[in-house]
Structure 1
Amino acid sequence: MAHEGMRAGDGDRQRVADRLREALDEGRLDLSEYDERVQQAYAAKTYGELEGLLADLPGTVPVEKAQVEPHRVTEPPASAPAMKGHRSGPPLPGILGVFLVCVVVWAMSSLGSGEWHYFWPGWVLIPVVFALLAHFRDRGKRGH
């Protein structure tokens, strides 16, 4: 049996409907033609009926005629060395640096006004505490 005569599945019909939606968004089909073709796509029983709906749209190549091979993910070799100096976890020096900058801004504004203001950098300290807790909790799990 030829490919065109084979029965199409729901996924095949959905892919054609999605491509028709793209053609509508690109301005290649008007709304009435899109509606007509989508109805035909969902009513199609064979691959031949589906391919006919996309035949006049650019960029549509049937899978069996495609010249592009699927991407293959390759695993790194087992003998590849681990990255030296790489560590997982929060960047503690960066987080602490942000906190210290906030404390300096708070101190300068307080000294400039002549009175001590509300210590708002304490709010910035909350993620620092969580980062430190995560660092020390995970410290035993990581190799040194």
Structure 2
Amino acid sequence: MAAGPNTRASDGDRDKVASVLREHYAQGRLTVEEFDERLEQLYTSRTYGELATLTSDLPDVDLQGLSNASSRLSERGGRPGGHQASHRALKSVWAVWAVASGINWMVWFIVGATDGFDFPYPWPLWVMGPWGVMLLLTTVVTGLGRDRNP
């Protein structure tokens, strides 16, 4: 028996549509805002008709080829632009902080070494301290530093 638009959809059906939306987002057919909006609608949809409206303006996607990719995405923790992109951005900011701190400490060391190893006040702490505290708070509050896999 064919499922009509008023037939209730399962979680598996919603996951398939989420895979289609992820693929269209990855291909640039959806903006981040559109993708997020459609995902919100997706997980509140109850029927096949509601699911069909989410992809009605998008070309068909072969779900057989996406099944492995979508399962890997869900294992790693979500949609392609959400948590993973934020996690990468946070790692980049921490890397910039580490490089800037290292350069400041190197300058401090060179100044002290060229002055007969009479090292000045450790001023790099004032550069790296407040910046590091803000990064740490951002990491802890947003939870982006935690691994989502058990």
TM-score, scaled to structure 1? 0.40
TM-score, normalising length: structure 2:
0.38
